[in-house]
Amino acid sequence: MNHERSSALFHQAKAAIPGGVNSPVRAFKSVGADPLFIKKASGSHIYDEDGNDFIDYVGSWGPMIVGHCHPDILKAVQETMTSGASFGAPTERETILANMVIDAVPSIEMVRMVSSGTEATMSAIRLARGFTGRDKIIKFSGCYHGHSDSLLVKAGSGAATFGVPDSPGVPADFAKHTLTAEFNSLESVRGLVASNRDAIACIIIEPVAGNMGTVPPREGFLEGLREICTNEGIILIFDEVMSGFRVAYGGMQELTGVTPDMTTLGKIIGGGLPVGAFGGKREIMEKLSPSGGVYQAGTLSGNPLAMSAGIATLNILKQPGFYAALETKSRAVAEGIAKGAKDAGYPIYSTRIGSMFCAFFCKGDVIDWPTASQCDTRAFAKYFLGMLDEGVYLAPSQFETAFVSAAHSDADIEKTIAAAAKCFKLIA
Ligand code: HOZ
């Protein structure tokens, strides 16, 4: 497969943009290649600048649940654009999307729109601190909640992929307020809570971890966190930037029945445009400026284009049978890949929740960051490059999630499974 034009564009980009990319996860550094430069996308396929066609399981890192260029979303954005891209003043669409989110997500009674997932988590934490009057927070090793100072501690996603889970530039004075527990270990949480009594403002967690690969919560884990938080006056924040409207219309909290105090969202609710949101109990949210004193703001917050794309997306997701059909496709592709590995005699650990899945290149169970980090990342790189050659575009890191969209066809899925079987045979 020819990647000449992508490589040339990457070369030019590196002179102007650090590392040639505007977000580290886009670089193919950890798989030893140059990133593809994308020209266009449609449905479940993306096309690079060299004219290659790929089945896309990145989906812009999660937002594209209905596929690329869905006609309803195109129409909504085009119509909105003709009446103005941004006003820095309230619009009706913001309330419409806010009410759709409130109706969908069990924990959300009020919601504030922002422009990225990072803003959502950063602001949610400030609000939790303002509400409780406490400074410390607990996060989980391998979880990623964007790149704000307090949260770049033992972080997953690109931070883990590139070996900077604790980034230079984060003052030790900030990081000392961030305590880190192990995902799926209530014991580790209880230990931190016991030694920091009345000092912890919030526990923030991806209820299904999607930034160290896909790691589902074990039975009782989220319920246990809920109990600890209720007993200790700690705000429980579910970071559903990835899982919100993805694993179910109401996210992991709908799927598991565990209701946090606050939730952060992003990705899908912007239909591919820049967006984020954080919401929760009314008594907490009302502490936010201008109704309360906790300050948070944004020029493009509630941007008309993003609101329109979000409303159009959620209207598609609300259609009866949407998630059942997505579940069928997702099961087929994840199980098909795992079978290909088994038949080739190559052991992987396969995980999936709804349309999020991961093939871990490792023999044992993956339940947290210590187990995820044992994976054979060199074998993953071979698999990734093999799949790319076969026309399948995966995230270029073992520590990311693959996303299935409603646009993936049976033919896409069959081709993906056949490609994976071939790749596993080659690396076995
Ligand atoms: N959560 C996304 C990757 N795991 C973020 C994408 C990015 O960092 O660009």
232: CA distance to ligand 1 center in Å? 32
61: CA distance to ligand 1 center in Å? 6
Q: Quick check: 403 and 334 in contact, CB under 8 A?
A: no
Task: Say what the pLDDT of residue 320 is.
Answer: 97
This prediction's pTM: 0.97
Q: Which residues pair with 136 in a beta bridge?
A: 200
CATH class, range 71-317: alpha beta
Task: Say what the pLDDT of residue 267 is.
Answer: 98
Ligand 1 test: best mutation among 21, 23, 275, most atoms within 8 Å of CB? 23
The bridge status of strand 276-280 relative to strand 262-266 is antiparallel
Task: Say what the pLDDT of residue 167 is.
Answer: 86
Report mean pLDDT in 10-residue bins for the chain, 428 residues.
96 97 95 97 98 98 98 98 98 98 98 98 98 97 95 89 84 92 98 98 98 98 98 98 98 98 98 98 98 97 98 98 98 98 95 98 96 96 97 97 98 98 94
Rounded CA gap, 7 and 49, in Å? 10
Q: Distance of alpha carbon 6 from its chain centroid, rounded?
A: 26
Ligand 1 test: best mutation among 144, 151, 212, most atoms within 8 Å of CB? 144
Q: Which residues pair with 16 in a beta bridge?
A: none
Task: Say what the pLDDT of residue 388 is.
Answer: 98
| Structure token pair of residue 67 | 């596929």
CATH class, range 4-69+321-427: alpha beta
157: CA distance to ligand 1 center in Å? 6
Query: Which atom of ligand 1 is found nearest the CA of 210?
Result: 4
Q: Could you give the residue numbers annotated as active site?
A: 144, 239, 267
Q: Quick check: 12 and 18 in contact, CB under 8 A?
A: no
Rounded CA gap, 403 and 284, in Å? 33
Task: For residue 119, give the H/E element and its range.
Answer: helix 117-132
Residues with CB under 6 A from ligand 1: 23, 25, 61, 144, 157-158, 211, 400
Domain ranges, ordered by start, for the chain = 4-69+321-427, 71-317
Span 370-383, pLDDT tens digits: 999 999 999 999 99
Secondary structure of residue 401 in the 3-state scheme: coil
Secondary structure of residue 94 in the 3-state scheme: helix
Single-letter code of the amino acid located at 273: L
Secondary structure of residue 424 in the 3-state scheme: helix
Ligand 1 test: best mutation among 21, 22, 25, most atoms within 8 Å of CB? 25
Q: Whose CA is nearest to atom 2 of ligand 1?
A: 61
